[in-house]
Amino acid sequence: MEALHRMRPYLPPLLILLIGAGLFWVLVVTRPEPPAKEEGEPAWVVDVRTVSPGPRAPTLSLYGRLESPRHSTRTAAVEGDVEAVPVREGRVVAEGDLLVRLDSGDIEDDLAQRRADLTEIEATIEEARAQHRADQESLEQQQALVELAGRAVDRAEELAGRDMGSRAELDTAREARRRARLELIRQRLQVESFDARLEGLEAQRQRAAAQVAQAERDLERTRVEAPFRGRITSVEVAPGDRVRAGDELVGLYDTDALEVRATIPATRVEAVVRALEAERTITATVRVDGRELEAELDRLGGRSPQDSGGVEALFRIREEAPADLALDRFAEVTVEMPERPGLVAVPYSALYDHDRMFVVREGRMVRLEVERAGQHAVADGPSLALVRSPELRDGDRVVTTQLPRARDGLKVRVREDGEAGAGTP
């Protein structure tokens, strides 16, 4: 009894512990069973783009330089001192505007001398023609004198035969006839050789006229003018410089004949050649210095860059280009290629290793091998990739989310509108 009396202070706490343990055991036994957790494969949330294969025109992005086939370097045609240079580099000039003027004093003096030579030979020709007319009249008179001398000889011989005239008179008559005949021969030669002498004089006149024309051209060449409307690229001289024939003076290019030279990749050359052979127009948009210019493929170049398998192409600017565009400026060219059948446009994020993409079929990713056909320019957004594959179907949903572990057969779920978390399981 004494022991029970000593334990009485510990009985209430012990009783409380026993009651608590009993209550805990009752709760454990009577608790509801939680639902069994389903074990399965997670579905990755992805974005998709519904596609429909069809004919589309790929665009090709190229980079090139601005140039002009009408780039002229004006050179001095004559020797002289530079008198004036009214243009400056970068200025735009009209056709016929003065670029450089050379001192023309020496050439004007030479021209005056050439003209005097021509006048002199023309006067000589007129004198020869007048002399010829006189020679023709003299020939007629000389012919009459020969006839008279002949009759005088006949009379003298008749008188001498009848012993009525002296021998001396006969000899004198014969001598006069001989001199008359010699003069007739000289006169006839003078008349007959006139045409040959005239040809020689005409040759001298033509030579003198050519020298006058040359001097007149030289005088004109002291004014170096713009051959077309263009922009000045270089000025090599200043007033007071002495230049010789062939020295460079001013460079300029035609602002109405601008081209862009760019290299077409080897994989696109065949399609371009076929289009040109079919006389199909290939248009392009050229971006240079923040400006967009309409252009078209004019021709393929005659050379291929050594470090590229492509071919150089020349795109002609179709519209009037701003006059302040400088040659050799960097230009971005977007080429509209001929249409190809069976293409779809997808974001570049849909491509894996450039030649693979995935579509969603029955909740699984299906891998497709694709062929890149170029890109498709979008006016208000980034460009899209154009691809083709014989396995693509109308209405296929292409996965546009890049997944780190993308594989054939991966379970996916298309993200709902407004749902966050694409690219996560």
Q: Domain coordinates of the chain in residue numbers? A: 45-56+341-414, 60-68+255-336, 78-102+223-250, 106-220
pLDDT tens string for the chain (425 positions)? 455 455 566 666 666 766 777 666 667 666 665 544 445 678 888 999 999 999 988 888 899 999 999 999 999 999 999 999 999 999 999 999 999 999 999 999 999 999 999 999 999 999 888 988 888 888 788 788 888 878 777 777 777 667 676 777 777 877 888 888 888 788 888 888 888 888 998 999 999 999 999 999 999 999 999 999 999 999 999 999 999 999 999 999 998 899 999 998 888 888 888 888 888 889 999 999 888 999 999 999 887 776 667 899 999 998 887 877 889 999 999 998 888 889 999 999 999 988 899 999 988 999 999 998 888 877 777 889 999 999 999 999 999 988 888 889 999 989 887 566 555 56
Q: Tell me the CA distances in angstroms from 175 to 137, 150, 156, 158, 162, one per residue in order.
A: 24, 10, 12, 16, 21
Beta carbons of 184 and 135 less than 8 angstroms apart: no
The neighbour count for residue 73, using CB atoms within 10 Å, is 12
Alpha-carbon span 413 to 42, nearest angstrom? 10
> How many CB atoms neighbour CB 82 within 10 A?
20
Q: What is the CATH number of domain 78-102+223-250?
A: 2.40.50.100
Locate 41 and state its tokens: 């494969």
For residues 350 and 342, the answer to whether their CB atoms sit within 8 Å is no
Give the C-alpha separation, 294 to 318, whole Å.
6
CA 152 to chain centre: 92
Q: How many residues does the chain have?
A: 425
Q: Which residues does 61 contact at the CB level (< 8 Å), separation at least 6?
A: 332, 333, 334, 335, 375, 383
Q: pTM higher than 0.85, yes or no?
A: no
The correct answer on CATH 3.10.129.10 for the domain covering 45-56+341-414 is no
Which tokens go with 42?
């997670």
d(CA 257, CA 272): 23
CA dihedral of 258, 263, 269, 272, whole degrees rounded to 10:
-20
Which residues is 56 bridged to in the sheet?
Answer: 340
Give per-residue burial for 197-217: e unless 16+ CB within 10 Å, then b: eeeebeebbeebbebbeebee
Q: How far apart are CA 47 and CA 110, in angstroms?
A: 87
CATH class of 60-68+255-336: mainly beta
The residues facing 230 across adjacent strands are 93, 254
pLDDT at 35: 47
Q: Do the beta carbons of residue 57 and residue 336 sit within 8 Å?
A: yes
